[in-house]
Amino acid sequence: MKFCSQCGAKMDITLRSLVYRKKVHILNVPIYVCNDGLCAFTSVVDVIKDDVKLLMKELGDKPEAQEILFDEISEFANLLVNIVEQGDSEQVIEKMEERIDELLDLYLLAKSLDDAKWIDEIKRRLTQIKLEV
């Protein structure tokens, strides 16, 4: 579970659009949003930061106006889109969110330990959540 670095409230994961260089619309990017309506602080989910950086590097400084579906680039974003689209019941969605929360916490830990093998393992498990439920 992630807490807001600004106000300490719980944060939820949601899919948002990012605009890059005012020209490129990147859709379905997993973002943390603070539950406190007044604060509403947002931050990019850690596990996809590398994918976002890579994408921006590929687009360069003067990208053409275009729309990009981030879930076609990132397996984790794809998983979230699938959950939103196929979640039959709130119970299933809740279970998946708990599992994702757990794995994202582990991911942060693995990242802080700089354990590449563990990081890969968590990424793999994150993209397979759908199959486990």
Residues forming the site for Zn ion (CB under 5 A): 4, 6-7, 9, 34, 36, 39, 41
> Which one, 42 or 66, has the nearer CB to Zn ion?
42
CB of 69 to Zn ion, least distance (A): 28
> Which one, 17 or 42, has the nearer CB to Zn ion?
42
How far are the Cα atoms of 15, 73, 122 from residue 81, in angstroms, in the given order?
8, 12, 19
Report the alpha-carbon distance of residue 115 to residue 96 in Å, rounded.
25
> Which one, 33 or 59, has the nearer CB to Zn ion?
33
CB of 7 to Zn ion, least distance (A): 3
Single out the residue of 16, 11, 37, 28 nearest to residue 75, CA to CA: 28
